[in-house]
Amino acid sequence: MRALFTAARHEAVRAFRNRTFRVAAALVTALLAAAFLLEAARHAGEARQRAALQELVHRQWVEQPGRHPHRAAHYGSFAFRPPSPLGFFDPGLESFAGTSLFLEPHQRNALSFSEAAQSSELARFGTPSAAFVLQVLLPLLIFCMTFGSVAGEREAGTWALAVSQGVDARVLVAGKALGALLAVALWLAPVLALAFAAALLAGVLDASVDTLARAFVLAGGYAVYLAACTAFGVLASSFHRRAQGALLTLLGLWVALWIVAPRLATQAASRLHPTPSRAQVELDLARAIREVGDSHDPQNPRFQELQRRTLAEHGASRVEDLPVNYGGVVMREGERITTALFNDYTTRLFDAHRAQDGLALRAGLFTPLLAIRSFSMGLAGTDAHHLVDFEQQAEAHRYAFIQQLNQLHITKIRWHDDKAQRVDRAEWTQFAPFKPKRPPAAWALSRVAPAGLAVLAWAAALSLGVALFTRRHGETS
């Protein structure tokens, strides 16, 4: 253990004395600071704006004049997606997902008004976030630190000297990996701690138990990821006798595994599990809805069975004799049928997207970037799982909202001269505002567990590779 810590301390001191490392660390720190500041400002502004808009649409709903319930239904409402508390750290899909849903009868709308759709072409490159710096740029810095850890000493002749004096090669390599990781931690941990403390004090990040739990688990995942990157760099250096060769190898692997492979995996997933275009989706749904009948026409032959049941329930022979408005009954049944159609079709679309995500995650076994990206977005609350959860909450609210209006149609509007009637505006105060609930940390962790295990697998495999290679190589160096 003493030899291990001596080697680690020597490697950490060597890193801090290296001018290139200090300059690179300063640049990465500046990038992190800029990303935190820009994203925190954007995140806080959007959170305030969406909360204000959600309050505004509910106030407009309550203050509208008396209307026919079905006209009020088509007047509609909006559901605004609140930004995730950790979205300023890892925006994930925030910029591409859309910000609001229009809630109306006979229709399940998708999220719209995404930031990317309203921005320039530069939005395609993603948001310059702190997560991007840690996931993509920091491994490059680590590789620039570790390329000469073994190859450089072997080239200088000090490696053979150390091994000939009885120092176990495995201890030396493990010490170098530990030292490089320690150097990164001693520099990075205070920067991140200061950034999150500032976010807490500024009110950008809430201090709830759920948010803090997500942040701590997220920090653990990144620690394992950076440990894997460090072991990767030291192991690659161990395969070379010259530092230049190790550097070229690591740069090539970084381009292949951190730049090219994620892009190829994403494209392969979309080709193997294609999803229909929006125009095709709307066409298919229009055909399906036409098959179930138009609920705006109470005499539609597809609702004859409903008419028979309703008459039998109330002991009437004609719809004119019913104590309720049969037109509202048809509206309620039509909404139930069309909602089931939309939910079934949307579930199939979500399943296709999950299949794409699953394939991309399996590709994480070949590149750690995809694994840590899924893990990070999931805990930050900016992945597809959280977006689907929001849409499902909004759809549940829309369905209850429309059916409440249909109930007013049934009970407050007479069958005779239906369209000319209105309900009192006081009825609108009985409608609850939309208040989405964020899933708990345990829910998010259960969905990103495979990605977290993939990051752990990378760290374990690289550590094992270091041990097996140096055990063999220590006897031949």
Question: What is the DSSP annotation of 55-83?
Answer: HHHHHHHHHSPP--HHHHHHH-EEEEPPP
d(CA 80, CA 119): 19
| Of 171-175, 364-368, 425-429, minimum mean pLDDT range | 364-368
> Confidence class of residue 115 from pLDDT cuts 50, 70 and 90?
low
Of residues 281 and 172, more confidence is placed in 172
The pLDDT assigned to 475 comes to 44
Q: Residue 221 pLDDT > 90, yes or no?
A: yes
Q: Beta partners for 101?
A: 79
d(CA 120, CA 76): 31
pLDDT digits (tens, 9 = 90+) for 10-56: 888 888 888 888 898 999 999 999 999 988 888 899 999 999 999 99
CB crowding 272-284: b at 16 or more within 10 Å, else e? ebebeeeeeeeee
Sheet architecture: strand order including 107-108: 77-80, 100-104, 107-108
Would you kindly state where each structural domain of the chain is located, as residue ranges? Answer: 2-473
Q: Average pLDDT in the 360-373 region?
A: 82
Q: Average pLDDT in the 79-92 region?
A: 93
Q: Average pLDDT in the 171-185 region?
A: 88
**Structure-block tokens of residue 348:** 């199939």
Largest CA distance in the chain: 105
d(CA 421, CA 415): 10
Instruction: Count Cα atoms within 13 angstroms, Cβ side, for 386.
Output: 33
Of residues 389 and 270, more confidence is placed in 389
Beta carbons within 8 Å of 79's beta carbon, 6+ residues apart: 54, 100, 101, 103, 394, 397, 398, 434, 436
Amino acid in the structure at residue 286: A
Residue 103 φ then ψ, to 5°: -100, 115
Q: Residue 63 pLDDT > 90, yes or no?
A: yes
The pLDDT assigned to 400 comes to 96
**Structure-block tokens of residue 114:** 């995404």
The pLDDT assigned to 120 comes to 47
What's the length of the chain? 477
Beta carbons within 8 Å of 200's beta carbon, 6+ residues apart: 207
The pLDDT assigned to 472 comes to 52
Q: Residue 207 pLDDT > 60, yes or no?
A: yes
In angstroms, what is the C-alpha Rg of the chain? 30
* Helix intervals (H) in 413-440: none
Of residues 258 and 291, more confidence is placed in 258
DSSP SS3 for 107: strand
pLDDT digits (tens, 9 = 90+) for 378-416: 999 999 899 999 999 999 999 999 999 999 999 999 988
Q: How crowded is residue 113: how many other Cβ atoms within 10 Å of its Cβ?
A: 12
> Confidence class of residue 118 from pLDDT cuts 50, 70 and 90?
low
From the list 163, 180, 241, 132, the residue with the least C-alpha distance to 462 is: 180
- The owner of tokens 């069975």 is 305
d(CA 214, CA 196): 13
Task: Yes or no: say if 268 and 359 are a contact pair by the CB < 8 Å rule.
Answer: yes
pLDDT digits (tens, 9 = 90+) for 280-293: 777 877 787 777 77
pLDDT above 90 as % of the chain: 52
The pLDDT assigned to 150 comes to 86
d(CA 325, CA 332): 11
Q: Residue 168 pLDDT > 80, yes or no?
A: no
Mean pLDDT of the chain: 87
Amino acid in the structure at residue 268: A
d(CA 252, CA 254): 5
- The owner of tokens 């609140």 is 82
d(CA 298, CA 318): 13
pLDDT above 70 as % of the chain: 94
Beta carbons within 8 Å of 128's beta carbon, 6+ residues apart: 31, 34, 35, 38, 39
> Confidence class of residue 425 from pLDDT cuts 50, 70 and 90?
very high
Q: Average pLDDT in the 321-349 region?
A: 90
DSSP state of 320: G
| Of 107-116, 198-207, 230-239, minimum mean pLDDT range | 107-116
Of residues 117 and 449, more confidence is placed in 449
Question: Would the pTM of this model clear 0.85, i.e. be above it?
Answer: yes
